[in-house]
Amino acid sequence: MAINKVMVIGAGQMGAGIAQVFAQSGFDVLLNDMNKEALEKGMINIEKLLTRAVDKERISESDKTETLNRLTPSSDLQDAQSRDFVIEAIVENMDVKTKVFGELDAIAPKHAILATNTSSLPITEIAAATNRPEQVIGMHFMNPVPVMKLVEIIRGLQTSDETYQTVEDMTNKLSKSPVEVNDSPGFAANRILMPMINEAIFSLHEGVASAEDIDTVMKLGMNHPMGPLTLADFIGLDTCLYIMEVLHEGYGDSKYRPCPLLRKYVKAGWLGKKSGRGFYQY
């Protein structure tokens, strides 16, 4: 199936990034958000990133103009009725996502594929909220979307081979690198990444080393571009905690137990870069 018209639901950092990448790759894109202020901010951020790319001579001024011409803001979910492909990038909450997917199922055309950018929630459960589970799939982009090449494509229990192949082909058109992953808690990326971050937090919690020294060990000793505690601050400590809870509940294994210090920071409102304080101050 050829996909030409795309809708991205959620104009936050991830949603805006996904919309930008699709528009830059030649797709007709609607960026949707019920919050008009968030929608306006998302569109402004896309234009800023494109302007920066022009200044750095990564794209031309005409590329920027054409990309923006392919992007249209939307604050009405009913706009999905004209789309071939819809991907949501909203809050990591199963009740909210299943509600949206149930609504999309009634609005989007029968041929449309419905995707979620969830970083940890079960695709199979989200798909069960629709009457087209074979056309529901996970498409987990990495942050920042315009820069990072990896996309985890996650099959739900009933995702069809045709749906998977269509999304894989589309991912290649975005100049991204698709990786096929089966539906399991945390998928591949976060099942590996989050326990590492959690262990770094335990090391800090138990006084093994300072935050700066833990990050230095991983940067200089393991050649990581960013230390795990700095990365946690950039991801958001509330997000890290939520994913660890999904892993802990999903596998029932104590090795996924969130560090008490992580819980304490989240309860204090120290969520990382977005709140001005996490393991570091911003």
Q: Which long-range contacts (CB under 8 A, 24 or more apart) does 278-281 make?
A: 278/229, 278/232, 278/233, 278/237, 279/201, 279/204, 279/211, 279/229, 279/230, 279/232, 279/233, 280/211, 280/229, 280/230, 280/233
Q: How many CB atoms lie within 10 A of CB 63?
A: 14
The pLDDT score that the predictor gives to residue 47 is 97
Q: Which tens digits make up the pLDDT trace of 114-125?
A: 999 999 899 999
Identify which of 103, 127, 31 has the alpha carbon closest to the alpha carbon of residue 73.
Answer: 31
| CATH 3.40.50.720 domain locations along the chain | 5-182
Q: How many CB atoms lie within 10 A of CB 99?
A: 12
Kindly name the residue from 74, 152, 198, 203 that is annotated as catalytic. Answer: 152
CA-based R_g, the chain, Å: 19
- Would residue 248 show up in a list of annotated catalytic residues for this protein? no
Kindly name the residue from 25, 120, 140, 198 that is annotated as catalytic. Answer: 140
CATH no., domain 5-182: 3.40.50.720
- Would residue 119 show up in a list of annotated catalytic residues for this protein? yes
280: left (phi over 0), alpha (psi -120 to 50) or beta: beta
Identify the helix (H) or strand (E) that includes residue 86: strand 85-88
- Which CATH number does the domain 190-274 belong to among 3.90.1150.10, 1.10.1040.10, 2.60.40.10, 3.40.50.620? 1.10.1040.10
- Would residue 47 show up in a list of annotated catalytic residues for this protein? no
Kindly name the residue from 119, 120, 198, 203 that is annotated as catalytic. Answer: 119
Q: Which tens digits make up the pLDDT trace of 37-49?
A: 999 999 999 999 9
- Would residue 57 show up in a list of annotated catalytic residues for this protein? no
The pLDDT score that the predictor gives to residue 1 is 78
* Residue ranges of the chain whose pLDDT lies below 70: none
| CATH 1.10.1040.10 domain locations along the chain | 190-274
252: left (phi over 0), alpha (psi -120 to 50) or beta: left
- Strand 28-32 versus strand 71-74 pairing type: parallel
